[in-house]
Amino acid sequence: MKNSDIFWALYDMDDDLIREAKEAPMMKTNNVHPVRIMLIAAAVVVLLAGTALAISELWAPKLAALFGADEKQQELLDVGFVQNIGVSDSDNGVTITAEQLIGDANGVYILYSIKADDPKLLSAWTFPHYKLTLDGESRGKGCRDWADPGNLHDVEQRRDADGTLYFYDLLMTDPGESFSGKQAYVHVDYIDDMATDQDIFPVIWEGDIELSWEINYVPSEVRTYEIHQNVVWNDSTIQIESANISSIGITLTCSGIPTVTNDVEGLGNVVSIRDEYREIAGALSSPVSITLSNGTICEMDRNHLGGTKRYDDNGDVEFVTLFAGQIFREEAYPVSLCYELDGETFTVELK
């Protein structure tokens, strides 16, 4: 046997052992010694002070971290690029604030924070359930997505030392659309905790929180490249027609992405979830590396990448957007994307 066979032996572990591990009662965690709490608090104060000095006031630290924008890079970008929203509402011991918004021609990221009067209420896996409308219209399928890159993967980083949680929403524009001048309205009615060991997510807060503001930002400029490159995958030919690059992300316009269907009838919403499964689209939003015009090769991993897909009226994938967790600048723009798909490597040149 090979070393990797240990993995497969563990993989085949008996069911009762798997069950037993999760069914054992939760234990109380050890109390932390008061001196340790004081030392931790002191360290947190030092860290917070350092962060405040390092990040300019223009970008919220969480947003800057999401896009990997240090102070110098933020200065290079258009001031109108970020909208400071600062709209809050409170109910039943919870305050939610729409903090900031950043956008390009393809969409906007909105950063929210949540604070609770009882800091124990919120965990790193707390998620609010909310509806968002723009000028009274809800954003439909494929136009709205949870932001998935960077810090959101590391749940610890979603939470500040004072217990404030952050979450992002990615709102994609339709082609040629701008959100500037539109009235955003967010209604949050409950929060649940998606922490691990429950069978059903408990609702930890219910109430009515309403946020409303006018969206106002200057979209980051974009460069568009005609590509017309074909990628063959599982006997399907996918055309990458063009790439649209802004300071914060790359959007590929695609066609021919196969729709995975299934023949199970009557599964209602589950089928719609399955219909959105398009592995190739997921792969296109996750390059292995991005080469910049100054020769730098940025190796990507899941801690840096975020992506989403947009669908046309037929439900086919039309655009794939990826966020690399870093700012692209004039002197260092992406010139190629390198992918691995089923063990094969291919490159999309953006020239």
Q: For binding to other proteins (CB under 8 A), which residues are involved? A: 1-22, 24, 26-30, 146, 148, 152-153, 194-201, 262, 264, 266-270, 273-274, 276-277, 279, 282, 286, 288, 301-303, 307, 340, 342-343
Q: Where are the alpha helices (DSSP H) in the chain?
A: 5-11, 15-23, 34-54, 61-67, 71-76, 269-275, 279-284
Q: Which CB atom, from 8 or from 346, has the smaller least distance to other proteins?
A: 8
Question: How far apart are CB 214 and other proteins at their closest, in Å?
Answer: 30
Q: Which CB atom, from 166 or from 217, has the smaller least distance to other proteins?
A: 166
323: how many CB neighbours lie within 10 A of its CB? 26
Q: Which amino acid is at 167?
A: F
| CB neighbour list of residue 238: distance below 8 Å, 6 or more residues apart | 230, 231, 232, 254, 255, 256, 257, 258, 280
Q: Which amino acid is at 209?
A: I
Q: Strand pairing of 289-292 and 297-299?
A: antiparallel
Q: Which CB atom, from 57 or from 342, has the smaller least distance to other proteins?
A: 342
Q: Which CB atom, from 22 or from 228, has the smaller least distance to other proteins?
A: 22
Question: How far apart are CB 333 and other proteins at their closest, in Å?
Answer: 23
Q: Which CB atom, from 216 or from 336, has the smaller least distance to other proteins?
A: 336
On whether the CB atoms of residues 323 and 104 are closer than 8 A, the answer is no
List the structure tokens of 70.
Answer: 């240090």
Rounded CA-CA distance 171/132 in Å is: 10
> DSSP strand E in the chain: where?
82-91, 94-104, 107-116, 126-134, 137-138, 144-146, 165-172, 183-193, 203-214, 223-233, 236-245, 250-255, 289-292, 297-299, 306-311, 317-323, 334-341, 344-349
Question: How far apart are CB 332 and other proteins at their closest, in Å?
Answer: 23
Question: How far apart are CB 275 and other proteins at their closest, in Å?
Answer: 10
Q: Which CB atom, from 103 or from 306, has the smaller least distance to other proteins?
A: 306
Between CA 243 and CA 254, with CA 347 as vertex, the angle to 5 degrees is 35
Q: Which CB atom, from 42 or from 277, has the smaller least distance to other proteins?
A: 277
Question: How far apart are CB 2 and other proteins at their closest, in Å?
Answer: 6
Question: How far apart are CB 348 and other proteins at their closest, in Å?
Answer: 16
Q: Which residues of 104-124 are buried (b: 16+ CB within 10 A; e: fewer)?
A: bbbbbbbbbbbbbeeeebbee
Q: Which CB atom, from 219 or from 307, has the smaller least distance to other proteins?
A: 307
On whether the CB atoms of residues 194 and 203 are closer than 8 A, the answer is no
Question: How far apart are CB 131 and other proteins at their closest, in Å?
Answer: 20
